[in-house]
Amino acid sequence: MDDAEVLRIRNDFPVLAQEINGSPLVYLDSGATSQNPLSVLEAEQEFYEQRNAAVHRGAHHLAVEATDVFEDARQTLADFIGARYEETVWTSNATEGLNLVAQSLATAGLWAERGRGDARLSELAVGPGDEIVVTEMEHHANLIPWQELAFRTGAVLRYIPINDDGSLQMDTAAAVIGPRTRVVAFTHASNVLGTINPVIDLVALARAVGALVVLDACQSAPHMALDVKALDVDFAVFSGHKMLGPTGVGVLYGKRELLDVLPPFLTGGSMITTVTMERAEFLAAPQRFEAGTQRVSQAVALAAGANYLSETGLDRIHRWETKLGQRMVAGLQDIPGIRVLGPAAGSERIGLAAFDVAGVHAHDVGQFLDSRGIAVRVGHHCAQPLHRRLGLTATTRASAYLYNTTSDVDMFLDAVAGVRSYFRV
């Protein structure tokens, strides 16, 4: 990819054509929410105009068509991450997917204790003295559900610390992940540091002690080719709104042999085989975890987003974003008074950069950039423990995507260079 191709790509994104405060919009907040191409907008609109009906519940023509496109979308997302159809569960977002896994593991012990469900449940149950391992760089969505699982079951939550450069302390990881570890949950790529974690090495440590692996792929699935089978993770989650799709839809991947055994997270509706006044029996995955009316139009639109990324080429996108990210970090490091978090320029990272401006609060930095039409994220980025570890309460984060040009990065850097003088620091 090059700037000429990216400029053509930008024509597919109507929102990028506008001006903000008299300046062309430079959107560098895709790490929070990406923009939508016309094909995604049209896919959702076309569903409502032509096929709107409840899925899996009607025998009329519209219901059959709605069910078909809904399940076709599931297959598209399964193919997108190298999974099987029945291993791909629709959720509202990645946070729901992580809560689903944590809550199901919490219930597994109760089911095993009372002789309900598959005999293998006892192997998945988390109980007193067991350990759950996360990392110090986790988004709250991949921390709080495990805190709650530990609280409910009497397990112990442990974490792998980071080095000052934003990398994991892998020597410590080998000591933290031990014989009592039942779950290892970690982010593929940090939404603050830009660090790409060594998934294969972490999976190997977990496999050596028989622990389950849960991967937060929110910052990787939209930006690089993801093969959950090759990575050998047990579960993975990502959100649609970060990969060109709409809000309100996400995906949980889980190995079939695990999903079919775990207790459901939400119950009711058509996720059952038989219901009496005393009890219910549940379907196999993925319907086992999809209670109630589903997010049908959103799933269809997300499939359109996945197709857009696949047709553009995830490897090409990743290389382009890496180039932008390196340009961003190198430029920030050259500005006096700027502290960039995570790996230095030249080290592997995804296409984002969080930074601190000496003497200027992140929210003031964000407002200054917004006055020049540059959209960035400010705050703790749902990673308070990580910021605390780095001695900060908030940072400014710029994150690039396939529709950003080198000119976007240069305008951003030029604006950041003027922040401290503007605030007379």
What is the Cα–Cα distance from 334 to 329, expressed in whole angstroms? Answer: 9
Tell me how far CA of residue 146 lies from CA of 60, 178, 373, in angstroms.
Answer: 43, 17, 39
For 237-241, the CB contacts below 8 A with 24+ separation are 237/91, 237/94, 237/97, 237/98, 238/94, 239/93, 239/94, 239/95, 240/93, 240/298, 240/301, 240/302, 240/305, 241/33, 241/34, 241/93
Kindly name the residue from 20, 32, 382, 417 that is annotated as catalytic: 382
Helix-helix angle 314-333:406-417, to 10 degrees:
20
Q: Is the separation of the CB atoms in 254 and 235 below 8 Å? A: yes
What is the Cα–Cα distance from 92 to 299, expressed in whole angstroms? Answer: 10
Q: Is the separation of the CB atoms in 74 and 89 below 8 Å? A: no
CA atoms within 13 A on the CB side of 3: 7
Annotation marks residue 382 as catalytic: yes
- DSSP letters spanning 149-175: HHHHHT-EEEEE-B-TTS-B-HHHHHH
What is the Cα–Cα distance from 194 to 90, expressed in whole angstroms? Answer: 27
Q: Is the separation of the CB atoms in 55 and 67 below 8 Å? A: yes
3-class SS at 76? helix
Catalytic residues: 382
